[in-house]
Structure 1
Amino acid sequence: MKAVYATDLSAASEATIANETCLECLDRIGVEEFHLVTVVPSNVHSGMPGMDFEKRRKTALDRYRRAFEDAGFGVETHVVRGTPHRRINGIAESIGANLSIVGSRGSSPLENRFIGSTARNLARTSVTPLLVNRIQRATDDPDVLEEHLFQRMLYATDFSDNAGEAFKAFSYLRHATEEATLVHVRTPADPDTDEDPHDQLDELAGRLAGWDIETRIDVREGDPVEEILAAESDHNPSTTLVGSRGHSRLRRLLLGSVSEDIVAKADGNVMLVPPKRVA
């Protein structure tokens, strides 16, 4: 597997790269090659202070490269100019990446919590599964919140096709996953069906049990974002796994993507799986 690691060269980014346990988790799910990407904003030009921006970033990436190479990974570095999420997606697509990774300081203490604009835009547009790796806030020497990235998974599903694509990620996550909680939130907007969500979750749990993953199910009612965040609080997963689209495209356009809200407001790591691309 190839992974794009997007970094702004901050202390938060360095925390994820320096954490050997996190790198071991990525190795266990099959990542063999990293492409380290940092983007120089297009409004930074040679006439401004910081005219050596590309050179300084290249030097910093070379330091990161050594950390990955010491851990046994193949590494390439990319210093590019432009809009961060677009350039990151472009590189991911051009190299055929299987995963993109971005660090985030996590939820804000403000009432309306937020993440950096690059992470939010990637959550909306990523062409690959996206891992938002949560970093400690309010410290000059941050560390990752969860070293064992995939040990305890919370999988949220609305039984849509894209949720099914997200579940397929367990085909490689299982090598690092010990337990999983499967969550479905019933809402008045759900399509009419005779299927019991408990039975549907039990079927998924049986598939995970075949991989020796200890599994529990959790059916809730209410607002999907609020209930998924409540499930995260109750079950304390290392990562929450969701598809990046739900049942209704119109509802997503009007009210905002559930998955984007989860990325913005979750306390821990979030992994988003985009829809399967059709040639």
Structure 2
Amino acid sequence: MKAVCATDLSAASEATIQSETCLECIGRIGVDELHLVTVVPSNVHAGMPGIDFEKRRRRALERYSRVVEDAGFEVETHVVRGTPHRRIRGIAETIGAQLTIVGSRGQSPLENRVIGSTARNLARTTVTPLLVNRIEREADDPDILREHLFRRMLYATDFSTNAETAFETFSYLRHATQEATLVHVETPKDPGLEESNSDSQLAELADQLENWGIETRTDVRRGDPADEILAAEAEFVPTTILVGSRGHSRLRRLLLGSVSEDIVARANGNVLLVPPARDV
């Protein structure tokens, strides 16, 4: 299984790559080939200060690659030029990656314009599952906020086809998952709310996970989906939220529902965003 790990060579990005726990977790779900990608901004041209970006980034990636190789992965490095989210997505598609990993410091408005913007743009456009690895926001030498990436999962579902696609990732996540919380949020706009069978639908999903030895609870809520999913995160403290993306059309990607984008931007912990299955 191939994965792309995007880095801007900041301390936040380095925290993901240097974490033995994170590497162990992605290895446990079947990743054996890791592609380290860094993007030189397209507005950096010859003659400008910092034009040695590419050489410096190659040296940094060589250092990271030794860490990843020592953890038992095959490694390839890519230093490319352009718009970060487009180039990261392009490499993931080219190599046939099953996972893209990007670090993010979280909710700071200023940082979201810079670091968080790549994560958000990838959330809108990715065609492979996207793991947003949350990093400490205020520290000079930051660490990841929640280790053991997939140990405690919070899976949010609206029972759509796209949510089912996200649930299917448990087929490999189960090798690293011990606990799961399955959440469905009913809204006042839901048709037939009074006759809802959400509890039984969640129970069926829970049975599948219990058969894999995953301790599972279910939780049906009412209200705004993003707010309630984040409230469930605060209550159950999962290591990662698993959610599907609806990005079928260009407009939908811009709005993103906009539940998925809200969760990527506002979650305290990690988020695994799964896009719709591609037509073959």
Q: What TM-score range do you get, normalising by the shorter chain?
A: over 0.9
Cα deviations by residue, 1:97-152 (Å, 9 ceiling, x for unpaired) = 000000011222x6997761101100111110000000011111100111100000
Which residues in structure 2 correspond to 1:246-257 (within 5 Å)? 256-257=257-258
- Return closer, same or farther for 1:69/1:198 CA change in 2, 3 Å cut-off: same
Worse-matched range after superposition: 246-255 or 111-120 = 246-255
SS of residue paired to 1:116: helix
Query: Which string of whole-angstrom CA distances, capped at 9 and with x for unpartnered residues, describes residues 62-97 of structure 1?
Result: 000000000010000000000110000000000000
Quote the offset at 1:47 in angstroms: 1.6
The alpha-carbon distance between structure 1 residues 187 and 254, as it changes in their structure 2 partners (threshold 3 A), is same
Amino acid at match of 1:203: E
1:19 aligns with 2:19: yes
Q: Deviations over 1:182-241 (max 9, x none)?
A: 000001232447550000000000000010000000000000010000000000000000
* Distance 1:248-1:278 versus aligned 2 partners, 3 A rule: closer
Cα 1:120/1:85, change in 2 over 3 Å: same
Q: Which residue of 2 aligns with 1:197?
A: 198
Decide whether the 8 Å contact of 2:154 with 2:241 is kept in 1.
yes
The residue aligned with 1:56 is 56
What is the CA distance between 1:16 and its match in structure 2?
1.1
Aligned to 1:129: 129
Unaligned runs of at least 5 residues, structure 2:
none
- 1:152 equivalent in structure 2: 152
Counterpart Cα distance in 2 of 1:25 and 1:56: 29
Distance 1:199 1:257, change over 3 A: same
Q: Give a deviation string over 1:2-50, Cα, whole Å, max 9, x none.
A: 0000000000111111111111111100000000000001100112001
Match of 1:70 in 2: 70
Distance 2:227 2:257 in 1: 14
Distance of aligned partners of 1:106 and 1:12 in 2 relative to their CA distance in 1, 3 Å threshold = same
Query: Between Structure 1 and Structure 2, how many residues are aligned?
Result: 278
Q: 1:210 to 1:263 in 2, by over 3 A?
A: same
Quote the residue 2:6 is aligned against. Answer: 6
Asked if 2 retains the 8 angstrom alpha-carbon contact of 1:11 and 1:141, the reply is yes
In the alignment, the residues of structure 2 paired with residue 186 and residue 208 of structure 1 have an alpha-carbon distance, to the nearest angstrom, of 22
Partner of 2:237: 236
1:167 and 1:255, CA in 2 relative to 1: closer, same or farther beyond 3 A?
closer
- Contact 1:160–1:246 at 8 Å: present in 2 too? no
Distance in 1 separating the partners of 2:132 and 2:39 = 17
Tell me the SS of whatever aligns to 2:183.
Answer: strand
CA RMSD of aligned residues (A): 2.2
Identity of aligned residues (%): 74
Distance (whole Å) between structure 2 residues aligned to residue 123 and residue 201 of structure 1: 26
The 8 Å contact of residues 124 and 254 in structure 2, kept in 1 or not, is answered as no
Distance in 1 between residues matched to 2:11 and 2:34, nearest whole Å? 19
Is the 1:158–1:247 Cα contact (8 Å) retained in structure 2?
no
Judge which range, 237-246 or 145-154, deviates more.
237-246
Closer, same or farther: CA 143–255 of 1 in aligned 2, 3 Å:
closer
- Counterpart Cα distance in 2 of 1:143 and 1:181: 25
The TM-score with structure 2 as length reference comes to: 0.94
Match of 1:274 in 2: 275
Q: State how far apart, in whole Å, the 2-side matches of 1:111 and 1:141 are.
A: 19
Q: Rate the CA distance shift 1:196–1:22 in 2: closer, same or farther, 3 A.
A: same
* 1:43 aligned partner, one-letter code: N
TM-score (norm 1): 0.94
Provide the rounded CA distance (Å) in 2 between the counterparts of 1:168 and 1:43: 40
